[in-house]
Each structure stands twice: as C-alpha cells, then as structure tokens.
C-alpha cells in the first residue's frame, strides 16, 4: 500500500470540511478513490474558533472518505488561508555548482537563500512554503526552468507564504485531535489555481477568485507564476446573513432560499413570483417577492466583486490579465455570478471547475466547491516528485479496518469512483511545480 502513489487533501472551510483520497496512475491522471464532506461551524473567516466542533467535522468527513476508498487515512495535505496569511516577494542569488550546469540542488539552494533573505519576519510568523517565480541565469532573464542551463550565477525571485504561528497551530491541533497528521500545508489560493486554471491562462495572465463561505481569495498569475494574492473577509456567508435579515428568517432557511431561488444578477431574473418562507418556531409562513430576494443577494455579491476589483488594481497587474478571471468556490454556483462579475470587474470571466473530472464521480466532485481540495491532492502528488521527499512523507495510508461508526457520521456516500486529469502543461511548468516545497 505504501508504494502506491496516493495523496489525501483536507479542506477545512468555514461552512464545510472536504476530504478527497486520490491515486496518481502511470499516465498522470488522478483517480479519485473516495471523498467525504461534512458541515462545519467551528471556523470564522477561515480561523478556528471552536476546536471541538472542527475536530468533529474533520472526523465525519474523513470517515466518509475512508469508507468510500477502503483506505485508512493518516497524513493529509491541509489547505490554509485567512487574513493572517501573508505573501512576501524575496530575491535570491547563488553561484551555480562546479559543473557549470544548473541542477535541482542549485534550485533548492536558491529557494533556501530566498527564505533567509526575508526581511521583517517576526517570531510570531512561520513560513508555510516557497514558490519560485523567475530565474535569471547569468544574463538570461525570464527563465522558468533553469535546470540544464549553463551559467555561473543564478538569481531571481520567489513568492514566500507566511502565516501566524498560533493560527497554524490551532489548525494542526484540530488535525491531530482527529487522529491525523498534517503532512504538509498549502496556501488555498495556490491549490484552487492548480485545480481550475488552464496552462494557457496561467501563461497569459489570469486572476483566480475563490468565493468561499467565510473568505474570498484572490490570486494573480502572470507568465506562469503567482505574483499577488489577498484574502478578503467578505464571502458567501455574508450573503446568507443578509438574506436572513432581509426576509426575517433563520439562517438555515435563508441559505436554502439563496440556493433554490437566488440570483446574483437581478437582470437575469424573469417574471417575478412570490416565495413562501417558513415561519420561525411555529409562526405562520409568509410570502416574499423573488425580485426583492435577488436585490438583497446582488447587493452583497456586488460588494464582494468590487473588493476583488480593488484588490486586483492595487496589485498593479490589472492590465496584464489577458485571460481575465476564473471564479470558483461554492459562492460561484449562484446563477448570475459570471454575468455580474463581467460587469463589475471589466474582465472576461468563466466559472472554474476542477479540470478534467470524469467517470462516475463527476456529478459530485466536478463542482467549484471542490476546487480547493482537488488542488490540494494535485499539489501533494506534484511535490512527491522530489527525489529526497518520498511519497510516504506526503501521505501515510494503510488499509482501513472495520470499526463501529458513530451515529452522527453513519450516512454512507453513494457516489462511484472516477478520476480527474491533471491540467495539461509544458515540461517547463511541470518541472517548476516540483519546487513548490511545503515547509
């Protein structure tokens, strides 16, 4: 079992916890062996506020994934996000090894020096991982794949992701209490980008916008590398809160109304109709115009997209987004989101689904809400290509054994197994991805 090319992704979100177990086959595809999902209310804005609730949600999702995959999950690649996560550009320069030909060891030394060159990293923060952006070998600029090139010096830049130690420790504590090990951590905008971006978009210039439950994540890719990212503390849950306040209903009822009747772009709404809303605690039901519901939703979605637009413009890369925007996450599922985003952002927009999903599991995993967790799995398997980082350091799985299932997580998933193909890319980009180390 330990020789199998298996990875596990764990996405601990504000509203849900998702787990995916996948195996990379000999042709580079990800065969999804199992998945699990549970409701989550132990986080706020991607930050743990209730450890016990978060642990229970993780256990429930993992139990589903174990039953479906027949694999006992131990190590997981965990997504991390939140306003406490910051990204720092760092420059680095090294001398090439004595052969005068750049090798992987040189690249690792380059990235290690990039870490040591960070300024103003206080003791409260720690490095999550390092992403190479550009290499310059002697006077040759714009190199994405330096291996095999002749030269005496190599310089360039890296994108270093750092987060608050206390917030990261709380996430790890939840994972450990759930009986798991955090084999690696990945910044969620990176994972979402891996899952939904096409290589042509990555090269041309694209912004990936992940609208989750508690946060909206923005990541900009230019010429094949991540250049800017930001976490915005307004997201889909705020839309639900607005609906609950506007129609005077319970949060659960408001969420149901949003999903079943909501439009992010009121211009798409056809003939108006009346919606019946259940009363609270035995009170009689009431009616509410569908047009008014859409106006409430549109106002908040417009605010989210305006904040995203401001973030993009602050980055200085707005004019370089030739491929426009890819919107993913659960908040992207609402009808009219794509049309509203085009109007607010002034960019070409498409909704991002995990690339290449096929087979019997397509109906459950081929969904924007699974973009992050599918990207976490793909990222783990990309990292397993390090010669000095064997797969067992990425994941640790063993055959599942039958154990009594707690009543609260007894419901069994019925989805069939399938697979997702990794995004196609040139050898240059595939090789650069090898150096996305988890630290």
Overall fold of domain 87-162: Dna Ligase; domain 1 (3.30.1490)
The Cα–Cα gap between 325 and 16 comes to 25
Evaluate the CA torsion angle 114, 232, 378, 174 in order and state its sign.
positive
Overall fold of domain 1-86+163-189+355-439: Nucleotidyltransferase; domain 5 (3.30.420)
The Cα–Cα gap between 157 and 144 comes to 11
**Tens digit of pLDDT for each residue in 211-237?**
999 999 999 999 988 999 999 999 999
Domain residue spans in the chain? 1-86+163-189+355-439, 87-162, 198-354
Q: Which CATH architecture has domain 198-354?
A: 2-Layer Sandwich (3.30)
Which of helix, strand or coil describes residue 165? Answer: helix
**Tens digit of pLDDT for each residue in 234-283?**
999 999 999 999 999 999 999 999 999 999 999 998 788 899 888 777 78
**Tens digit of pLDDT for each residue in 395-406?**
444 555 444 444
Q: Is the pLDDT of residue 408 over 70?
A: no
Identical fold at 87-162 and 198-354? no
**Tens digit of pLDDT for each residue in 50-66?**
999 999 999 999 999 99
CB 180 within 8 A of CB 112: no
Q: Write the DSSP assignment of 362-406 as a string of letters.
A: HHHHSSGGGHHHHHHHHHHHHHTT-TTS-HHHH--EEE----PPP
The Cα–Cα gap between 226 and 113 comes to 19
């Amino acid at each position: 079992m330990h020789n199998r090319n298996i990875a596990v992704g764990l996405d601990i979100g504000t509203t849900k916890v998702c787990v995916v177990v996948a195996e990379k086959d000999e042709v580079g595809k990800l065969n999804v062996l199992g998945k699990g999902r549970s409701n989550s209310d132990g986080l706020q804005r991607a930050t743990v506020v209730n450890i016990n609730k978060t642990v229970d949600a993780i256990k429930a999702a993992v139990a589903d994934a174990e039953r479906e995959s027949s694999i006992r999950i131990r190590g997981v690649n965990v997504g991390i996000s939140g306003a406490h996560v910051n990204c720092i550009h760092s420059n680095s320069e090294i001398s090439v090894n004595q052969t005068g030909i750049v090798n992987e060891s040189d690249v690792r030394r380059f990235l290690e020096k990039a870490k040591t060159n960070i300024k103003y990293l206080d003791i409260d923060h720690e490095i999550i991982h390092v992403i190479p952006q550009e290499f310059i070998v002697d006077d040759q600029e714009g190199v994405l794949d330096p291996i095999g090139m002749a030269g005496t010096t190599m310089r360039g830049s890296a994108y270093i992701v750092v987060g608050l130690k206390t917030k990261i420790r709380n996430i790890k504590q939840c994972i450990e209490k759930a009986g798991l090990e955090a084999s690696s951590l990945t910044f969620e905008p990176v994972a979402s980008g891996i899952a939904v971006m096409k290589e042509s978009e990555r090269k041309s210039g694209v912004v990936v916008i992940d609208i989750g439950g508690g946060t909206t994540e923005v990541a900009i890719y230019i010429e094949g590398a991540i250049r800017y990212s930001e976490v915005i503390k307004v997201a889909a849950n705020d839309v639900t809160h607005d609906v609950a306040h506007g129609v005077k209903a319970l949060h659960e009822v408001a969420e149901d109304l949003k999903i079943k009747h909501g439009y992010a772009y009121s211009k798409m709404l056809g003939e108006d109709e009346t919606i019946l809303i259940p009363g609270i605690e035995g009170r009689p039901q009431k009616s509410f115009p569908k047009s008014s519901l859409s106006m409430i939703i549109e106002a908040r979605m417009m605010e989210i997209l305006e904040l995203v637009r401001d973030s993009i413009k602050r980055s200085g890369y707005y004019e370089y987004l030739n491929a426009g925007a890819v919107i993913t996450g659960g908040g992207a599922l609402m009808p009219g989101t794509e049309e509203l985003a085009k109007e607010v952002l002034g960019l070409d927009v498409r909704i991002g689904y995990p690339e290449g999903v096929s087979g019997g599991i397509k109906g459950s995993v081929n969904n924007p809400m699974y973009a992050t967790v599918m990207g976490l799995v793909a990222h783990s398997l990309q990292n397993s290509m390090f010669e000095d980082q064997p797969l067992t350091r990425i994941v640790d799985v063993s055959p599942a054994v039958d154990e009594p299932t707690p009543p609260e997580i007894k419901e069994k998933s019925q989805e069939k197994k399938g697979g997702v193909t990794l995004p196609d890319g040139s050898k240059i980009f595939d090789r650069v991805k090898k150096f996305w180390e988890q630290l």
